[in-house]
Amino acid sequence: MTADGADVQDGDGQAEADSRTEPKQSPEIEVPAARERARAIPEAAVARLAVYLRALSGLADQNVSTVSSDELAVAAGVNSAKLRKDLSYIGSYGTRGVGYEVSVLIGQIERTLGLTRKHSVAVVGIGNLGHALANYGGFPSRGFPVSALFDLDPDLIGVPVGGIPVSHIDDIVKVCTEREVTIGVIATPAQGAQEVCDRLVAGGVTCILNFAPVVLQVPENVEVRKVDLAVEMQILSFHVARRQQEAAAEADQSAVDGADIGPPGSGGQVPGDVESADRMVERL
Amino acid sequence: MTADGADVQDGDGQAEADSRTEPKQSPEIEVPAARERARAIPEAAVARLAVYLRALSGLADQNVSTVSSDELAVAAGVNSAKLRKDLSYIGSYGTRGVGYEVSVLIGQIERTLGLTRKHSVAVVGIGNLGHALANYGGFPSRGFPVSALFDLDPDLIGVPVGGIPVSHIDDIVKVCTEREVTIGVIATPAQGAQEVCDRLVAGGVTCILNFAPVVLQVPENVEVRKVDLAVEMQILSFHVARRQQEAAAEADQSAVDGADIGPPGSGGQVPGDVESADRMVERL
DNA sequence: TAGTGTGAACCTATTCACAGCC
DNA sequence: GGCTGTGAATAGGTTCACACTA
């Protein structure tokens, strides 16, 4: 449960450890507003809220009006204690002995996640993946309209993809500013990614979803999330390997008095190439 | 930092809390082999090892033969203490006062991640995303050869995509078994995902990378990782919202003696639709 | 009675800081 | 002097278990 699949590569939020210095500065007024609360929601919980939201939408589609934490937990693939705690971060919207009203919960989670506002999206790099993102009908539908596409291939400029004409990378700043893009998706090869990122930032984009296999350098007011297929694959690979080792170890009933520990002819292949499983995503 | 971008939706590794019951069962032999160690590496560290590996490959390409933890940490976007600790889980391959030999580290990380073995990949759902994955040249190159593609669209069956002919979904079990697929990538709409998953598992696949927005049900010996664009977007959205709230709160210099806490006309939009930002990825 | 909300215990992960070594 | 490797301290997240309430 790394919950880190697509890890955030945040710039090491080290600096100002505790912005809100004292717990209760003046013991007078109970200042904590909803504002304060946003600060307080653990990262891990935020990620799950999005998952709950999907589960809830599914329930709403089936005209379910009420769920218990147990039911919702199952639908979302977590345990109910965690779910309740997560929900408690956004407030008390359940009814004891009954459960949660689906519509209320949807509303509250949307509010918390800031989904009550549209976020214009720009996709940069209209290669295979960029195409997929841009073409993708459900994408612009609601919540995250794709409002700009960029590439540097002259053959692509002006060509509409998913209904939106591709602009040139050189126009990122201008177009993003004009169209008030808030989320930039980088689907370029690794080489161009930092450059693209800089331009997006210059164009006022404060959130970036990065598919390129590079660690982006951004100012601290910009949020980057990274999705890395190579990393995902390699993590899976690790688990295969571990399982094989365990299986091999199981066969160690033979040697409780282990006679040297050489590779027991099981899964121990010779190191090979593989060198650039990493480069995998580069051309996506 | 959430490191959960593409979260693992692991089946709640609750059951057998401590498999290795006693620390040192028999005080005789020092049994801990490399085997034991794999168990011990924290999930979070595994994910980062993959990142380090990429950084190291980059260095190797530039003919750098030695790195310090500081240098590598910068390249990988983490801090050096974390990096050293992570590396310590796989052994002591550095030289004090000097640093790490790039080639050695690459070899060791690859070994740890099980990359010394090829992992056949099957992609199911040759829509936009599936196409992207299959077409993608760097993908099959090394480490993770794509050896099977599946879809249910009759028009696609037999058509080669990225050099591999698409098979029908009904043949998943047969083909996966034949070609010894170990990693299955699900890029279908949500509806079909569980069904596809079941077949992959029946075909001997033990690792699944799931792009479909559903919580897959799998036997406990199967590892699932999930990549969910909608969730990523929503997490970014949350951070935009939080920032806006902070900005708004900053404007609260006016009321240190806060006169009621109503929404100060800042970022408080009215809840809207958005309802299915969730459904976003469905057609990917 | 059924199920939420939450303090407290527990476990995992990150950071610190320094001993040990080249 | 510089840098690794690692215990110890801290922070962050999860689970437990139960008081509370509709």
| Domain coverage including residue A161 | 121-229
CATH number at residue B94: 1.10.10.10
pLDDT at position B13? 32
- Of residues B223, B193, B237, the one with CA closest to residue B211: B193
Note whether A106 and A142 are same-domain residues: no
Residue type, A208: I
Q: How confident is the model at residue B4 (pLDDT cuts 50, 70, 90)?
A: very low
Which long-range contacts link A196-203 to residues 24+ away (Cβ below 8 Å)? A196/A124, A196/A125, A196/A150, A196/A169, A196/A172, A199/A169, A199/A172, A199/A173, A200/A122, A200/A124, A200/A172, A200/A176, A202/A172, A202/A173, A203/A172, A203/A173, A203/A174, A203/A175, A203/A176, A203/A177
pLDDT at position A249? 74
Q: Is the CB of A221 under 7 A from strand C?
A: no
Distance between CA B258 and CA B245 in Å, rounded?
A: 16
In whole angstroms, D20 C1' to B15 CA is: 30
Name the token pair of A22: 């004292």
Note whether B95 and B145 are same-domain residues: no
Note whether B172 and B93 are same-domain residues: no
All residues of chain B having their beta carbon less than 8 Å from the beta carbon of residue A213 are: 54
Report whether pLDDT(A4) > 50.
Answer: no
In whole angstroms, D4 C1' to B95 CA is: 6
Last residue of a domain, one of A50, A78, A113: A113
Q: How far apart are the first and last CA of chain A?
A: 27
pLDDT at position A43? 96
Last residue of a domain, one of A113, A133, A152: A113
Q: What average pLDDT score do residues A7-18 get?
A: 36
pLDDT at position B269? 34
Q: Is the CB of A244 under 7 A from strand C?
A: no
Domain assignment present for residue B67? The answer is yes
B47-to-A22, A242, B54, B57 alpha-carbon distances in Å = 35, 14, 12, 16
Residue nearest to nucleotide C17 (CA to C1'): B81
Note whether B131 and B98 are same-domain residues: no
- The nearest CA of chain B is from the CA of A36 a distance in Å of 9
Domain assignment present for residue B218? The answer is yes
Of all residues in chain A, the one with the smallest CA distance to B245 is A35
Residues A82, A73: contact at Cβ < 8 Å? yes
Nearest CB to B279 within list A138, A237, A241: A138
Report whether pLDDT(B186) > 50.
Answer: yes
Question: How many domains is chain A built from?
Answer: 2
Q: What average pLDDT score do residues A143-167 get?
A: 95
Highest mean pLDDT range out of A9-18, A129-138, B138-147?
A: A129-138
A236·B207 Cβ contact <8 A: yes
pLDDT at position A244? 82
Of all residues in chain A, the one with the smallest CA distance to B131 is A128
Q: Is A149 annotated as a binding residue?
A: no
pLDDT at position A23? 36
pLDDT at position A281? 34
Note whether B153 and B212 are same-domain residues: yes
Residues A78, A48: contact at Cβ < 8 Å? yes
Task: Name the nt closest to A94 by C-alpha to C1'.
Answer: C4
Report whether pLDDT(A36) > 90.
Answer: no
What would the pLDDT profile of B235-250 be if each residue is shown by its tens digit?
Answer: 999 998 888 887 887 7
Q: Is the CB of A66 under 7 A from strand C?
A: no
Strands of the sheet containing B99-101, edge to edge, are B66-67, B99-101, B94-95
Note whether A109 and A145 are same-domain residues: no
Of residues A15 and A239, more confidence is placed in A239
Domain assignment present for residue B164? The answer is yes
Residues A6, B9: contact at Cβ < 8 Å? no
Those residues whose C-beta lies under 8 Å from the C-beta of residue B16, and which sit 6 or more positions away, are none
Report whether pLDDT(B17) > 60.
Answer: no
Report whether pLDDT(B41) > 70.
Answer: yes
Last residue of a domain, one of A113, A138, A162: A113
Q: Is the CB of B66 under 7 A from strand D?
A: no
- Of residues B156, B147, B149, the one with CA closest to residue B123: B149
Q: How confident is the model at residue A135 (pLDDT cuts 50, 70, 90)?
A: confident
Distance between CA B128 and CA B132 in Å, rounded?
A: 6
- The nearest CA of chain A is from the CA of B170 a distance in Å of 25
CATH number at residue B148: 3.40.50.720
pLDDT at position B254? 54
In whole angstroms, C14 C1' to A269 CA is: 34
Q: What average pLDDT score do residues A199-210 get?
A: 97
pLDDT at position B247? 80
Q: Is the CB of B89 under 7 A from strand C?
A: no
Q: How confident is the model at residue B172 (pLDDT cuts 50, 70, 90)?
A: very high
- The nearest CA of chain B is from the CA of A254 a distance in Å of 14
> Which nucleotides on strand D sit less than 7 A from a protein beta carbon?
1-7, 11-17, 20-22
Q: Is the CB of A165 under 7 A from strand D?
A: no
Domain assignment present for residue B14? The answer is no
Of all residues in chain A, the one with the smallest CA distance to B46 is A235
Note whether A45 and A107 are same-domain residues: yes
